[in-house]
Structure 1
Amino acid sequence: MTITTPETPTLPLARPIARLSPLSIGGMLLLAVFWGLSIPITKLGLESMPPISFTALRFTFAVPFLFLFAIGRHRIPLAALPHVVALGVVGIGIGNLSQSFGVAGASASVSTIVSATIPVFIVILAALRLGQSVSRVQQFGLATAFAGVALVALGQGNGTGELAQTTLAGVALVLMSAVAIAFYYVWSVELSARHGTVTVVIWSTLAGFFALLPFTAWEVATTSFRVTHVAFASALYLGLFVSAVCLFLWLWLLRTVPARVAASVQFLQPVFGIGASAAMFGDRMGSLFAAGVVLVLLGVGLSISTRRGHR
């Protein structure tokens, strides 16, 4: 299975193409920047808005864009609707929402690295649900990545800025988000094979968004906050660019370059994420955190080193 990120669905493999064009390289870099900045910008938006309302505002921008693309072209059979609704509840109602709660209680740097374990959980869940084998190298990669997460959690107090204010509960919530999003991707493989990737993504996004609305109404009624210009712009960026535009950029890339090459952008995401966190929040890595980052990225690389499949 080709690796996914928190913001992208499972998409078909591209044709093997020998050479990369400057345009495709630029697209990969742009995607890495968009995805890499997603958690620091989430952190920025959460400074003035509570997690449920911020997540709902984000998808308020994403849903109309997706449906403009879907009108007349991407219908879902009624028989598939319960599965797609459940998929949306898992991916958005649990995955993205727990990520927002986790980012609220953890630094952007820590959240970025913990979220980088999504490919690791995809390998595990694909083995359990789809019967895909896991080699010894991949097993070692899984153990290495989890050891890195433990070091990141233990080393959060050795940093400076927002990094030093990370809580273990925040780390746990981001980790739960990674599991839920990984499950979303693995399950979407099965549904996308029957109904089409974009169709499943659009309708599951709508279902997840509607699932958020009752909780959003409760939070708005019981919590005092205001939507600042920064929060509005952050939600707009995440909804329009990360959740919507990046979907179609990724789809184009997978038709332009080999899927394994396109998936390599995941290794640049933490670089941009940590760099942005340092600039925006003053995060500075301690020794344990830095060691954890290395182990997580090494573990992710090993866990996917021999795996190919569908996105």
Structure 2
Amino acid sequence: MRERSGGPGLLPLAALLVTVCLWASSFAVMKVAIGTFGAGFVVWSRMAVAVAVLLPAAPRILARAAWRPGDWKWLGLMALLQPCLYFLLEANALRYTTSSQAGMISALLPLMVCAGAGLLLGERTTARTWAGCAVSALGVAWLTWLSAPSETASDPVLGNLLEVGAMASSAGFMLLVRRLAAHYDADLLTLVQFGTGALFFLPGALDAAPWRALASPWAAASLLYLGVFVTLGAFGLWNWASRRVPASRASALVNLMPVIAVGLGLGFLDERLSPMQGLACAVVVGGVLISQWRGAGPEKPARQGVSSPARP
């Protein structure tokens, strides 16, 4: 894929790599936090902590924004997709499936983004990418079919389906923010996201029972980690880097997320995958590798407009 100015440079790619590591860690931490506080409270606290950190700078962020007529609907759709729908689906997914399986399903995200970037943003999507998407989808379906209820996954089929929906919401967000980031800075996009999310998930704060669990230092630390690092830090870095890296290339780094998430689930939560589930995971990863392999020959030039897709 042809990029402007010889490529995005190392700093945006490093920012995306840190983002992926933070997102991957969220599966295990969210699993523990939801077991302590409940899904609604955990998701609202993530939004509230992020907004609290941004609030002192909010007047300056809003004042310097160069608002364009009609963009409110795209900013609203961005916030609806992520955090609102994404966290609603993922928090409930982790109630029913393991963090390892949810993390593995995240392998579908870069493929969804590549497909969407080709269809909606004009970025070149090859037949190999579509083939990899099909193979990974088959692996996810197989992994879900093999899943059985356990102590850490009461209804893994439902949980995995909810996680697929969360990935679809995240893919839509990434495509939108790729375009919006060309006109609005990362601080504004992040503020819009989590300001909307804090209001959307406000009912989660009204349950008094989870507040008592905050007396535990580890419980409070898990919420602070999710709010400051995984929510504000990771999405802020992604929003900043998205204007400097094509959507399909940025999403390719998300391929690391399943490996990290599964490793954390197996290492810290004592989750287990059967040999057949491990084979299904290998099929998912294989599909991702197929989609990203470029071969030895020169790559065909992208269509005109890859770096500057049409305005949404």
Same fold at TM > 0.5: yes
Question: Residue 137 of structure 1 contacts residue 303 of structure 1 at CA under 8 Å; is this kept in 2?
Answer: yes
Farther-moved stretch of structure 1 (95-104 vs 250-259): 250-259
Q: How does 1:58-137 map to 2 (within 5 A)?
A: 58-68=46-56, 71-74=59-62, 75=65, 77=67, 79-137=70-128
Matched residue, 1:179: 168
Q: Which runs of 5+ in 1 are unaligned?
A: 2-12
The answer on 1:189 being equivalent to 2:178 is yes
* 2:282 partner SS: helix
Matches of 1:260 and 1:300 in 2, distance apart? Answer: 13
Q: How does 1:217-256 map to 2 (within 5 A)?
A: 220=207, 226-228=212-214, 229=216, 230-249=218-237
Quickly say closer, same or farther: Cα 1:199–1:43, change in 2 above 3 A. same
One-letter amino acid of the structure 2 residue matched with residue 104 of structure 1:
R
Matches of 2:248 and 2:127 in 1, distance apart? Answer: 20
Deviation at 1:279, TM superposition (A): 2.3
Deviation at 1:93, TM superposition (A): 1.3
Q: Which has the higher contact order (CA 8 A, sep 6+)?
A: 1
Quickly say closer, same or farther: Cα 1:68–1:246, change in 2 above 3 A. farther
One-letter amino acid of the structure 2 residue matched with residue 236 of structure 1:
L
One-letter amino acid of the structure 1 residue matched with residue 53 of structure 2:
F
Deviation at 1:83, TM superposition (A): 2.9
Quickly say closer, same or farther: Cα 1:262–1:93, change in 2 above 3 A. closer
| Residue among 277, 283, 288 paired with 2:265 | 277
Farther-moved stretch of structure 1 (131-140 vs 29-38): 29-38
Matches of 1:17 and 1:133 in 2, distance apart? Answer: 16
Give deviations 1:221-252, integer Å, cap 9, x for gaps.
7x777434344322211110012223455578
Deviation at 1:303, TM superposition (A): 3.1
Matches of 2:194 and 2:240 in 1, distance apart? Answer: 20
Question: Residue 24 of structure 1 contacts residue 257 of structure 1 at CA under 8 Å; is this kept in 2?
Answer: yes
* 1:268 partner SS: helix
Matched residue, 1:150: 141
Matches of 2:59 and 2:13 in 1, distance apart? Answer: 31
Normalising by structure 2, we get a TM-score of: 0.77
Question: Residue 45 of structure 1 contacts residue 232 of structure 1 at CA under 8 Å; is this kept in 2?
Answer: no
Farther-moved stretch of structure 1 (103-112 vs 295-304): 295-304
Question: Residue 141 of structure 1 contacts residue 303 of structure 1 at CA under 8 Å; is this kept in 2?
Answer: yes
Normalising by structure 1, we get a TM-score of: 0.77
Deviation at 1:61, TM superposition (A): 1.0
Q: Which runs of 5+ in 2 are unaligned?
A: 295-301
Give deviations 1:109-147, integer Å, cap 9, x for gaps.
011111231112212333443344532101101101101
Matches of 1:262 and 1:283 in 2, distance apart? Answer: 29
Matched residue, 2:44: 56
Question: Residue 14 of structure 1 contacts residue 259 of structure 1 at CA under 8 Å; is this kept in 2?
Answer: no
Farther-moved stretch of structure 1 (167-176 vs 201-210): 201-210
> Larger radius of gyration, structure 1 or 2?
2
Quickly say closer, same or farther: Cα 1:207–1:292, change in 2 above 3 A. same
Question: Residue 123 of structure 1 contacts residue 134 of structure 1 at CA under 8 Å; is this kept in 2?
Answer: yes
* 2:36 partner SS: coil
* 1:134 partner SS: coil
What is the count of residue pairs matched by the alignment? 293
Quickly say closer, same or farther: Cα 1:145–1:69, change in 2 above 3 A. farther
Question: Residue 102 of structure 1 contacts residue 111 of structure 1 at CA under 8 Å; is this kept in 2?
Answer: yes
Question: Residue 38 of structure 2 contacts residue 210 of structure 2 at CA under 8 Å; is this kept in 1?
Answer: no
* 2:37 partner SS: coil
Quickly say closer, same or farther: Cα 1:239–1:309, change in 2 above 3 A. farther
